[in-house]
Amino acid sequence: MSEINGVSPASGPAQALPDAANRLGVQPVGKLLLKFSLPAITGMLVNALYNVVDRVFVGRGVGEIALGGLSLVLPLMTLSMAFAMFFGIGSANMISMRLGQARRHDAQNALNHGLCLLALAGLLIMGIELFFLENILSLLGAQEGSAALAYARDYYRIILYGHVFFLVGFGMSHCTRAQGFPLITMIGMLIGAGLNMILDPLFIFVFRWGVKGAAWATIISQFAAMLWILKFTASKKAVVRIRLGELKPSAQIILHIMSFGSAPALLQLAMSGVQLVYNTCMGWYGAAALGVANGGDIALSGMNIVGSVAMLILMPVFGINQGAQPVLGFNSARKSSAAYGGPIFWPSARPVVFARWVFSHVKSSPRVSYGFSPRTAAPA
């Protein structure tokens, strides 16, 4: 018999699947898309809202120049997300496809590999970027003597200490959704965002830790979200569970995970490059454009605000995308044509139209930046 999606039929017998996974190939696609996309949209909207609120806390508690520091390290954080998607979404896609083939053992093997790859990537990124931090920060687009650079250094050094938490938590959340548990993933997002919104004002306004407080709030929240996801994935409720004792490293599985996750990772990598170009333009030409000495830092702060609001608008689109992935992966492995074409296209098109409409109404509004700075007055 021929090999199916990179795994031969001899790799193991077909195994009966629990209802949580089996419904991916039984229930109507429209219903599945709703069940999987709504929790994803909710979780991502809450995370995007947290980003906006976090910027408000930093802008009002530390100053608008601190927002420029956060903007400087955004390309690095997007690059880290690319690795999280590379191994996280890659593992999730492989899990949903193996479950679609009723190969539960292969799905579990993919989960074990994904966890190890995410943890290893987090440790490597943390070690390399901490060692070369000063050299890396000098390449991020800040003008010479930029005050934002000091904020970026203080913030990102602490963020790096919790890099493993972010990669493992974010990456494994996709694997949980791929097993048929979108609500578990959503709860993990809500835990992280909710805890962050509680700790941010505490660390910034009460303890007076400045951007360091925002960074500590972020990594503590990421740790809590990671624990939630890992606790569920190791429990008996999961369709495939973490069993590192049964891990048998396989170059073939790693290559399959990388191939499945390459598309979203490359998109994030491109986004990181675009953010770097934007920061460079803002940092170097902001002073001349605004006519003030620290114009570069102010322009970087403006980019940070715009980026936060833009992500809030785009979250419904990303939620639909993430909700559709397990459905498509499972049914493609079963060679089911029901999950293609109209059933997926039309629901997916609506949030794209909505996002375009919102962008057209807010792109020139002066109210976008209101509330982020202690010196920002409400526009008339």
One pLDDT digit (tens) per residue for the chain, 380 residues: 333 344 444 444 455 555 555 666 667 777 777 888 888 888 888 878 878 888 889 999 999 899 999 999 999 999 999 999 999 999 999 998 898 888 889 999 999 999 999 999 999 999 999 999 999 998 988 877 788 999 999 999 999 999 999 999 999 999 999 998 999 999 999 999 999 999 999 999 999 999 999 999 999 999 999 999 999 999 999 999 999 888 889 999 999 999 999 999 999 999 999 999 988 888 777 767 776 667 788 888 888 888 887 887 777 777 777 877 787 777 776 655 444 444 544 454 455 555 555 545 555 555 544 455 565 444 44
Per-residue b or e along 181-196, where b marks 16 or more CB atoms closer than 10 Å to that residue's CB: bbebbbbbbbbbbebb
SS3 289: helix
Task: Assess if residue 365 is contained within a domain.
Answer: yes
Alpha carbon of 108 to those of 10, 121, 253, 256, 329: distances in Å? 16, 20, 11, 14, 16
238 falls within a domain: yes
Cα separation, 359 vs 346, in Å, equals 21
Cβ-in-10-Å burial (0-12, 13-18, 19+) of 171 comes to buried
Residue 325 domain-assigned (yes or no): yes
C-alpha–C-alpha distance, residues 174 and 325, integer Å: 9
200 within some domain: yes
pTM over 0.75: yes
Q: In the chain, where does DSSP find H-type helix? A: 19-22, 29-61, 64-72, 74-100, 104-131, 133-137, 147-161, 163-178, 182-201, 210-233, 251-290, 295-333, 342-362
Tally of structural domains, the chain: 1
In angstroms, the CA 166 to CA 306 distance is 23
- Answer yes or no: is 6 within a domain: no
pLDDT given for residue 128 in this prediction: 97
DSSP 111: H
Report pLDDT for 370: 46
Q: Which residues pair with 7 in a beta bridge?
A: 4
Judge whether 376 lies within some domain: no
Q: What is the pLDDT of residue 358?
A: 53
Q: Under 8 Å CB-to-CB from 244, ≥6 apart: which residues?
A: 112, 115, 116
Range of the domain at 271: 19-369
The predicted pLDDT at position 379 comes to: 47
Nearest to 35 by CA among 260, 237, 186: 186
Domain contains 72: yes
Q: What SS3 class is residue 7?
A: strand
- Inside any domain, residue 5: no
pLDDT number for residue 365: 54
3-class state of residue 144 by DSSP? coil
Q: What distance, in Å, lies between the first and last C-alpha atoms of the chain?
A: 72
